[in-house]
């Protein structure tokens, strides 16, 4: 739909999603549910391997929760769809990578979307911060994720005091994978997506499942789960034709022909 707040295009195995809600690409509940539907489609379509999420324009990636909607009565705990706020951060069964292409400011829930992504590329003018505490609300998912991603004191300064990080700092702290000139942002994101598409699809799924199912466990517990046979995606790789094809292609000096089985 021409007037949709979200645009989606498919390029080969890559789903590109653009958030387009002038002036700041803020997200209300209806937009979040639309994003959830798109990411559920991405999850369930075997021909799609990677998703790239970006914002329209060059000023805002996403300003987070739409405070105009909040002022109009939308509750903080509204129905944001199956994937939670932003469409994918809480989407069950999503093992495929999502790349955030951060074209501008990522504020509040917009920053939380970046933290939920598997990979991120930022324009050199991008900025990241969490103003929620100064607004009387809580950056709930960031309060879970950020202390696992930044040193404790730095995470607390961002969460409690709203410290702003520029793109270079985000790269230095490992919150993004690369920084690009704004004009080159999507080319950088697409190049990263192409590298993932070149990997074996079952291997990518298994890595996602192992990471998500073991991140909260002690090392011995993680290895116990890994060897238990309970991780279906991992077991599928071990028994796959692709696990034979990869080493064979390497020895023959050719590009693997992945079958996804």
Give catalytic residues, as residue numbers: 112, 132
**How many whole angstroms separate alpha carbon 37 and alpha carbon 40?**
5
Q: Which runs of consecutive H residues, i.e. helices, occur in 198-231? A: 201-214, 219-226
User: Which residue in 163, 181, 39 sits closest to 103, CA to CA?
Assistant: 181
> What are phi and psi for residue 129, nearest 5 degrees?
-165, 165
| Cα dist from 173 to 21, 40, 116, 178, whole Å | 29, 30, 16, 11
- Give how far Cα 7 sits from Cα of 18, 47, 87, 103, 219, Å: 5, 19, 14, 15, 41
Nearest to 140 by CA among 89, 103, 67, 73: 89
In 93-231, which ranges are continuous DSSP H helix? Answer: 109-116, 132-135, 140-149, 152-161, 167-172, 185-197, 201-214, 219-226
- Report yes or no: 178 and 188 within 8 Å, Cβ to Cβ: yes
CB 109 within 8 A of CB 76: no
């Amino acid at each position: 739909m021409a007037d949709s707040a979200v645009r989606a295009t498919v390029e080969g195995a890559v789903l590109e999603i653009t958030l387009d809600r002038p002036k700041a690409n803020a997200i209300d509940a209806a937009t979040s549910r639309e994003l959830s539907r798109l990411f559920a489609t991405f999850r369930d379509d075997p021909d799609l391997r990677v998703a790239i999420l970006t914002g329209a324009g060059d000023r805002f990636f996403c300003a987070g929760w739409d405070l105009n909607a909040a002022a109009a009565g939308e509750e903080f705990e509204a129905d944001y769809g199956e994937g939670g706020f932003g469409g994918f951060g809480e989407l069950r069964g999503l093992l495929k990578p999502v790349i955030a292409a951060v074209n501008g400011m990522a504020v509040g829930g917009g920053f939380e979307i970046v933290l939920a992504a598997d990979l991120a590329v930022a324009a050199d003018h991008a900025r990241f911060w969490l103003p929620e505490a100064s607004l009387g609300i809580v950056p709930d998912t960031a309060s879970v994720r950020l202390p696992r991603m930044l040193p404790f004191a730095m995470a607390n300064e961002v969460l409690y005091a709203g410290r702003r990080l520029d793109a270079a700092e985000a790269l230095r702290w490992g919150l993004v994978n690369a920084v690009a000139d704004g004009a080159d942002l999507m080319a950088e994101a697409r190049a990263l997506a192409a590298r993932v598409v070149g990997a074996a699809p079952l291997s990518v799924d298994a890595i996602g499942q192992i990471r998500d199912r073991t991140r909260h466990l002690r090392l011995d517990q993680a290895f116990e789960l890994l060897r238990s046979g309970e991780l279906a995606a991992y077991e599928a790789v071990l028994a796959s034709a692709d696990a034979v094809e990869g080493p064979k292609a390497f020895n023959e000096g050719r590009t693997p022909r992945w079958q996804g089985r």
